[in-house]
């Protein structure tokens, strides 16, 4: 459930959120978007956790892959719903992974 280390360099999209109350269709859409992202060119993997806040980090081959995913049409609709209904606030950071290790 941890993402592989992948070949450097690659990109991480760090998406941290605070949810609104109630589900309002969020869980089903989150699963749908995770599955859809995994079919996109340049997608490498993702990690996700939620307690007081949610953090999802998705990993991508390059900036072009991230841009492509950002403007995928179903994802654009989901992002609009996110801003309108599901998230009190969020931060999205795009970062170039320069070093990675683990066990």
Is 28 an interacting residue with respect to its own copies (CB under 8 A)? no
83-96: buried (b, 16+ CB within 10 Å) or exposed (e) per residue?
Answer: eeebbeebeeeeee
User: Tokens 């990993």 identify what position?
Assistant: 59
Do 43 and 65 meet the contact criterion of CB atoms below 8 Å apart? Answer: yes
Please identify which residue in the block is written with the tokens 């340049």.
Answer: 42
Candidate list 26, 40, 42, 54; residue touching its own copies; CB under 8 A: 54
51 near its own copies (CB under 8 A): yes
* 81 near its own copies, judged by CB under 8 A: no
Residue 18 and residue 38: Cα distance in Å, rounded? 23
By CB under 8 A, tell whether 103 contacts its own copies.
Answer: yes
Window of 6-14, 22-30, 33-41, 73-81 that interacts with its own copies by CB under 8 A = 6-14
User: Which residues contact its own copies (rule: CB under 8 A)?
Assistant: 1-3, 5, 11-12, 14, 16-18, 47-55, 57, 83, 89-103
């Amino acid at each position: 459930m941890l993402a592989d280390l992948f070949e450097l360099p690659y990109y991480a999209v760090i998406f941290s959120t605070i949810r609104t109350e109630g589900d309002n269709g969020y869980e089903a859409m989150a699963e749908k978007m995770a599955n859809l992202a995994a079919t996109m060119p340049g997608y490498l993997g993702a990690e996700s956790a939620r307690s007081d806040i949610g953090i999802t980090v998705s990993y991508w081959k390059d900036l072009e892959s991230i841009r492509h995913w950002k403007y995928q049409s179903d994802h654009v609709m989901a992002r609009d719903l996110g801003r309108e209904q599901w998230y009190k606030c969020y931060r999205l950071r795009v970062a170039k992974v320069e070093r990675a290790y683990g066990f």
